[in-house]
Amino acid sequence: MKNEDFIRHIYIDDYDYILPEERIAQYPAPKRDNSKLLLYNKGNISKDHFGNIHKYLPGDSLMVFNNTRVIRARIIFHKETGADIEVFCLEPLSPCEYEQSFGSRYPVEWKCIVGNLKKWKNGTLFTEFDFSGCQYKLSAQKIQAEGAAWRILFSWNSSRISFGEVIEAVGRIPLPPYVKRDDEDEDYVRYQTIYSTAKGSVAAPTAGLHFTKEVFDHIYNKGIKSVELTLHVGAGTFQPVKARNILQHEMHSEHFFVTGNTIEELLSYEGKIIAVGTTSVRTLESIYWLGVKVISDPSCADSDLFIGQFEPYNLPEGVSVQKSLESLAKLIKKRNTTVLHASTKIMIMPGYEFRMISGMITNFHQPKSTLLLLISAWMGSDWKNIYSFALKNDFRFLSYGDSSLLIK
C-alpha cells in the first residue's frame, strides 16, 4: 500500500471524547429547523439556529443532497414458544436491485441480521399483518449464512401486494442503537428527510433532517442551487471501531446511484460544493475515484464500479476533477443509460485529500467512529475545538441531535 506508512500511525484512541449520555438526543427537536447550528469558518466558531443557515452559505454554492429513504427494516416474528425473532433487512439479494425487490409481488431474498438467532434453529417464521383492511401472512426462511448475516427468503400469501407494501405494513423504523427507546409514530415522519424518495436505507442521512420547506425557500431565493444523489446507508454506519489501529478496521459497503444529469451539473458548476451529510461527502469523493478508475480502464465492467476501503490512497494522483467527471459522463453515454450504479467502502481519515467539496453540513458523531475520522480529515485538529464548543453550549448529539456547517 503506497500510503500505508501514514495510515498505520492512525490510532482510534486519538479520536475520542467524553460524550455524556444525557447529550445524546433521544427525540428530534420540536421543529426541524429549530435545531441548533454550529458555524465553523476559517477557524472561527459561533452558533445560531438551523433556520438561518442560508445566511452563512456562500452565494455560489451548489448543495448536494442524499435523497435516500429509510425503509421499515425491522420485522418482528413471534414464535409459538414465546420467543421474539427480529429480522433486520440490510440489502436485496434476489432481485438484487432495490426497485425490483420492492416492486416484486413474488418471493424475494434479502441479506439480513437476525436477532435472537439461537431461538431460530430451523423452520419457517410467520407473522400476520393488515394492509388496506385485509389480513395477510408473511413468512421468513433461512437460506444460508452471509458472513455475520443471513440470506432470508420472504414470502407472502398474495400477489396483489408488493414486497415494498409488505414491509411498509409489517416493518418498524430502525432507530439507531443509541436511541434507547422503541420507535413511535413520530419517527415514521421525523426519521426521514422531507426530500427522501429512493427507498433503501436502514439509517437516515441525518444532516438532512433539519431541512424544511422554509429553509429551502431561503436557500433558493439566495440563488443557491442543488442536486441530488443516492447512497443507501447501511447498518455498518453504527459499527464501532474496535481495532486500535485503523488498518484493522473493516468498512461496510454501501450502494450508491448518480444520474448523468447530476454528473453534468457537477462538471459545469464553478462555485463551491457543499455536501449535506457525511453520506454525500463519501459519495462525492467516491464518484471522483470512480472516474480515476475509468480513465485507467475505459472498458471497465460493472464489478469494477466499486471503491475499496483504502483504494483512494493507492490510485493515481493528479487527475483533475473535470477529467474524472468527464470520464464518468462518457461512460454513462457509452452504456446508453441515465444512472450510474456503484458501491463504496471508502474510508476517509486524516491525511486524505478532499477533491470534491468546499464545505459540509453534518451532525455530531460518536467518539472513536469512522465518521469522526472523516470530520478530522476535513477539520484537522480543530475538530476538538468544535466538539468542545458544542458540549459547552448544550448542543444535542448524534442522529436526532443538532447540526453544524463546516467551511474551510
For residue 312, the model assigns a pLDDT of 95
For residue 3, the model assigns a pLDDT of 58
Q: In whole angstroms, what is the distance from residue 9 CA to residue 4 CA?
A: 9
Residue pair 385/378 in contact by the 8 Å Cβ criterion: no
Q: In whole angstroms, what is the distance from residue 163 CA to residue 338 CA?
A: 26
For residue 118, the model assigns a pLDDT of 94
Q: Among 41-50, 271-280, 296-305, where is mean pLDDT lowest? A: 296-305
Is this model's pTM higher than 0.75 or not?
yes
**Mean pLDDT (whole number) for 206-219:** 98
Domain 4-69+190-407 falls under CATH 3.40.1780.10 = yes
Sorted by where each begins, the domain ranges of the chain are 4-69+190-407, 73-172
Residue pair 57/275 in contact by the 8 Å Cβ criterion: no
φ, ψ for residue 127, nearest 5 deg:
-150, 145
**Mean pLDDT (whole number) for 337-348:** 96
Q: In whole angstroms, what is the distance from residue 303 CA to residue 67 CA?
A: 24
The sign of the torsion formed by the CA atoms of 295, 271, 193, 361 equals positive
Look over the chain and give the mean of its residue pLDDT values, rounded to a whole number: 95
Residue pair 88/73 in contact by the 8 Å Cβ criterion: yes
Residue pair 270/222 in contact by the 8 Å Cβ criterion: no
Q: In whole angstroms, what is the distance from residue 340 CA to residue 259 CA?
A: 6
